[in-house]
Structure 1
Amino acid sequence: MIRTLLFIITIMLGWINIPAQAYLSPSAQNLWPVMSQNFDIPASYIDKSDVQQQIDWDLRNRKYIQRLTVNAKPYLYYVFQETKKYHVPAELALLPMIESGYVPDGDSRAGAQGLWQLMPSTAYTYGVKMNYFYDGRRSTTVSTKVALHFLSYLYQMFDHNWLLALAAYDAGPGPVLEAIKYNQAHGRPTDFWALQLPKETEAYVPKLLALATIIQHPHAYGIQLARVPDKAVTTTVKINKEMNINTIAHLAHTSVNTVQKLNPALNHDVTPPHQIITVVLPAGKKQTFDKHLAAHKAIEKEYSHTHYIVKSGDNLWVIAHRFGDTETQLEQWNHINLNTPLRIGEQLQVSNKIVTPPAKKKITSITHVVATAKKKITTVAHITHVVPVKHIVFSKQTKKTIASNEHLYIVKPGDNLHQLAAEFNTTTYYIIEHNHLKTTDLSIGEHLELPNA
């Protein structure tokens, strides 16, 4: 009781020098005081010796507390909003500090993963996806929903007692139930403080209560908390197919490193095929991503494949130019070569796009016409019949300043956006946008700025 009175006096004295920002106001720009208003676990527990010892330890390790508040910054607002949706105490938003130090890719020797250190068995029970591409336990959104759902279940199991629910979250329900039965059989109290539990669990609950007390009254304890905005600092988008994180970063106009940091659930640099996942992006990037994804899909659709039935008079050159493909592409897609005779009625895989008849083609020199004739085993006369001489234009090149991580690429026969994007580890949308292209058709001799391979 004496320690409680001293604590209250300390807080009252601390209020004298508290700046306006620290008062518990819903309109405050800093999340900590706003969140503290929703703390719901009784403050009377701070008089317990285990809690006081943990507070003393925290105050001797101020840099540790500071680091926890810094780590929490990208995730805390979202987690706090989820505690309100689940109608659970806001103190639970601090639990990842105990579990993982608010590091979403943290793991344990026991096999737990993520902010909430979910075990595989718990994750499996709640339908969390864990596979070669993806581990939902490391997803901020997935793991938070599962953890709060599980904590709510434990709260019901232990007769609406949050301390017992927290103990069960750490040790599992079994050891807590056994400890309660043992005390009941020996006529002892069955509250958390009276139970014989694993030492880690006995320290687990006081750690959370001590952190909540310090965070609720930082000035009374002389603790500097890293400012966390009282607003969303991230947003989410749904992706339902395999997509490289480089593509995601391009479409969202953010960095690859940012995408990686916000999405530790991805085991590799691609999203899972045939699985819908939530991808986290910086706040304000959802609209940018959605807009550019729509354009990206349109380009991908243009380069998707369909089947063509060979007709009389067809050959690879004619079919390739009809669908805007190259003879090399048709060879690769259909496992044939130029010497393979085509049969009427045969099915060939071609690009699924509408191509206007070839009109103006940029050719760097007349020698290119001759070279093309030799390569295609045809004649200059045949080429100039398909592309009349009056339509042969010589591209005008201008000197451009190229970024250090890019180079100037000259379009060659057979090149297309899809192939160049794959070769230089970028996206078709990026090439079009970066080079201000008006069409997806490339002209021989055209200059493109492309990333260094």
Structure 2
Amino acid sequence: MFRYRTFCIAAAAALAACAGNAPRGGKPTPAPKADDPSSALYQRLDEDSRRYEAGLALARSGETERAQAEMKAALDDLRTAATECARVAECDQQRFVAGFDSLLRAGIGSHADSVVEGDTGATTPEATEEAGEGSPIVTAMPALGRSITLLKGRELGDIIALNGPVKAALEEWLTQYRPNLITAYENYQYLRYQMWPEYEKAGLPEALLFGMLAKESGGKVHAVSRSGASGPLQFMYATGVRFGLGNVDGFDQRFDPRLAARANAAYINEQLAIFNNNLELVIGAYNGGEGAMQRRAGRGESASGFWSPEVYGSVSQETREYVPMVLAAAWLFMHPERYNLEFPKVAAKPGSITLKRPASIAELTVCLGQDGNAHDGWFRTLRNLNPQLDPQQQEPAGARVVVPQRLEKVYERDCAGGRWPQLAAELHEAIVPAPPPVSLAQSRAPAKAHAKGRIYVVRKGDTLAAIARRSSGCAVREIAAANGLRGPNYPIKPGQSLKVPECAR
């Protein structure tokens, strides 16, 4: 028994997941350069698409056997081409996403979507399995293609409810937060090789990872919230420790993209088990706390849905906004072309440089200029790829720094010697005048600061911002100055003694 609709859905489940930037409005993608190794793969995509559409025409005319043979051959070759595309750095997998999406839409509602070859219309176990992980088509695809849109065997697109809150969130991402969404996408592309494998191993969809990253930090690895949540996925200290994010040699592992993604995936899977795979409840728990969510919704099969009045109406306004924003970002990651959205093409293949002269991340940013990234330069990307480095601290000659591969030649050309590194060093070594002595400052502004102070011993979970809020009116920068801490992160660790001056705002 053969059902064309099942075959189409299986193909879509296999490849609709490469999610990202598909051509908008059905417009053709510009032809690749002649020397592009991916051009042959794109040609196969076009030929197989035409062959599949010809098979649909045969099905509509009643030539069932020929239609089946043509469509199967087209999809088999297209599957092979897509697998090869995943191994070619220059190959744009989103083009295959758009191709499969187009073929699926062409089949739905046509004669090929109806029952053929004596099918009674019943949904058999074999037909159900065909669209899931048991499908030979899905199994043959790279894990990237299989996992992106599948969550516990269900299509993520089937789980996300495009209700009022989610549609409102889509509008927000597409209007005032569009720059934030694009920036988050760009940041994620550089971090993807570290973060996505952890989600893939956990069997979670990539679109969910992007949705959480976009809402939590925008892909800024060193983000720290007012409450002390830190890193690209904004773990509180205690939760981070519970999922293996500690402090190693003074480095807070919440800022490590790979480890943060692993911890986030472990948390998501833990909570999916508690909430019977209810994704909205899990996302809400990530934002508002799992204990609070269990008290409101219950757990297991008896748990109420997030959108039910008793749950949605009882969570905080922040969580009511957070959940649909995460879902909307995930949805746009999968279907940008449906919303007149175009994500940028990012050449994010990782590489590294070996410093030929001492340099800090700040100095490298100056000498690298805007080559290949005219939008905002390379500071954020270099910081994200080297989270353990203080951006103002010079690293010695011979040190290895992770950079996008395309910057390796730029470094050799512009930063290994010559005027740009000299200029960067000159700016970096500029001396900022020290503030006046405390006695002079007191005479000029007696209400600003007092010489007296106290010693505070840092506890687990403390941040400098939290300590400042509990102090006598001191700003973060005043406590940092009193202890020689450098921004923007002002690193502290449990057991450390801090001088906390008495301040008046």
Structure 1 length normalisation: TM-score? 0.48
Q: Which has the higher contact order (CA 8 A, sep 6+)?
A: 2
Structure 2 length normalisation: TM-score? 0.44
> Which structure is higher in helix share?
2
